[in-house]
A = this chain, B = another copy of it.
Amino acid sequence: MSDEKLCIDYSQLESLYGPLAESIRRLVDVSIRTEADPITVAAVKDRIDTAAAELGASAQPGTFGVQLTPDGQTIAWGNAVVGLRNPVAPPLVLHHEPDGLVWSEFVLGAPYEGPPEHVHGGVSALILDHVLGATAHRAGRPAYTGTLTLRYRRRTALGRQLRAQAHVERTEGVKTFAVGHLADEEGVTVEAEGVFIHKR
């Protein structure tokens, strides 16, 4: 097999499918809050069913999975937290600092609601699992959550700038011990610690 055959242009695919996912995220958001009348809802539902059929005609079975680029970058576009192509994902953009700190800043809207106008406690857990786990991930060598403990200090508001961050406290063999938190502009709202395990 020649190298050419392996060389998918991911940046081209990103600019094709990324905006599609963004449009679906906007649709998801307004669909929760709309008070459209039955005739409008029926027409919109038809439009969405047509769109799904058009995309479905060439959909791969199963899931997106994880792909590796020729230079070793992980393409996890289906991921529930960071997936560029997954409308369920906010999606978070992770930053990896040279000292090992992983962080992300983002705003969560209506689809992530638990208590009225606040982030679902489980959504905070979802995000912190991913950000803590990202301190242990290496390309082609994923880390799996072993344990995760969350302490909720106070509620986290929707529609405001949030920041999640984590760092490695220590490693022991295949285990990475990570700590981190979710914060709003007034400080920490949820603390987290977890053990992430590299499969042997």
A54-B35 Cα distance, complex, nearest whole Å = 11
Judge whether B158 and A63 touch: CB under 8 Å: yes
Is A93 positioned at the interface, with any CB of B under 8 Å from its CB? Answer: no
B49 and A23: CB pair below 8 A? yes
Residue interface mask A44-57, B partner, CB < 8 A = 1: 11011111101111
A147 touches B150 (CB 8 A): yes
B85 touches A32 (CB 8 A): yes
Q: Tell me how far the C-beta of A114 lies from the nearest C-beta in chain B, rounded to whole angstroms.
A: 6
In the assembled complex, the Cα of A19 lies from the Cα of B44 at a distance in Å of 11
Taking a contact as CB atoms under 8 Å apart, the answer to whether B30 and A27 are in contact is no
A152 to chain B, nearest CB (A): 5
